[in-house]
Amino acid sequence: MRFLDNNDKHTFRSAPDIARETTGDPTEGAAEADLQYAIEATRGFEALKHAASLLTGTLLLDLTKSDRTVQSCTLNEKARAALEEARDSISLARARSENARHHNHHMRLALGHLEDVSSRADRMANLIASAADTVFPAISAAWDELKKLDALVAGFQTVDLSQSCCAFHKRRLALPQ
């Protein structure tokens, strides 16, 4: 059996610290379990997206050789706070179904990639110091993991097009003149 992201089910190993309920209502279906997990994991997902955006912004600031400080706080400090919130939320989300456990696995992978970028941003004044030592692969891998999440459990979109510029213009065009 293959997962939606083409990772082999038999090679997937969930982390031992993922909370699992050993007892529960046997009539509870996978859909209800996924919905409950989605509610619990949403805060962590939003924090991961926020941290990824901040760290991507740090890369852009380094690329333009600009100051990393915004509102008396570096973007990396804000990203670290978002990563801490994500870590707490992910650890509290109870993955009851196989889909939810796989989803949680990808959230943890994204968290790991982003923590790597954040720690490198702490150690390095310029994340784009040399072509051989950039963090582009790590930040790209984190975004890839985040993009996989909506295919596993609905409601985890990296871009909400209903809030986009095009959606705004579509609503404005639909208004009577």
Buried b (16+ CB within 10 A) or exposed e, 60-71: ebbeeeeebeee
What's the CATH code of the domain at 116? 1.20.120
Place of tokens 């150690």: 123
Instruction: Give the pLDDT score at 12.
Output: 56
- 117 lies in some domain: yes
Q: What pLDDT band is residue 165 in, cutting at 50, 70 and 90?
A: low
Helices (H), 72-135: 75-92, 98-123
Q: pLDDT tens digits, residue range 65-124?
A: 777 666 556 788 899 999 999 999 999 999 888 888 999 999 999 999 999 988 888 777
Of the candidates 19, 13, 23, the residue with the CA atom closest to the CA atom of residue 91: 19
- Rounded to two decimals, the pTM is 0.69
Q: How far apart are CA 161 and CA 171, in angstroms?
A: 13
- 118 lies in some domain: yes
Q: How far apart are CA 8 and CA 144, in angstroms?
A: 17
Q: How far apart are CA 15 and CA 38, in angstroms?
A: 18
Q: pLDDT tens digits, residue range 116-151?
A: 988 888 777 666 665 556 678 888 899 899 888 878
- 2 lies in some domain: no
- 160 lies in some domain: yes
CB 9 within 8 A of CB 83: no
Q: What pLDDT band is residue 164 in, cutting at 50, 70 and 90?
A: low
Percentage of the chain exceeding pLDDT 70:
64
Tell me 29's DSSP state.
-
Q: How many domains does the chain have?
A: 1
| Full residue range of the structural domain in which residue 125 is found | 30-174
**For residues 9-35, average pLDDT:** 57
- 21 lies in some domain: no
Tell me 74's DSSP state.
E
Instruction: Give the pLDDT score at 52.
Output: 92
Instruction: Give the pLDDT score at 56.
Output: 87
- 74 lies in some domain: yes
φ/ψ of 121, rounded to 5, equals -65, -30
Strands 73-74, 69-70: pairing is antiparallel
- 163 lies in some domain: yes
- 18 lies in some domain: no
Instruction: Give the pLDDT score at 22.
Output: 46
Tokens of 83: 């990563």
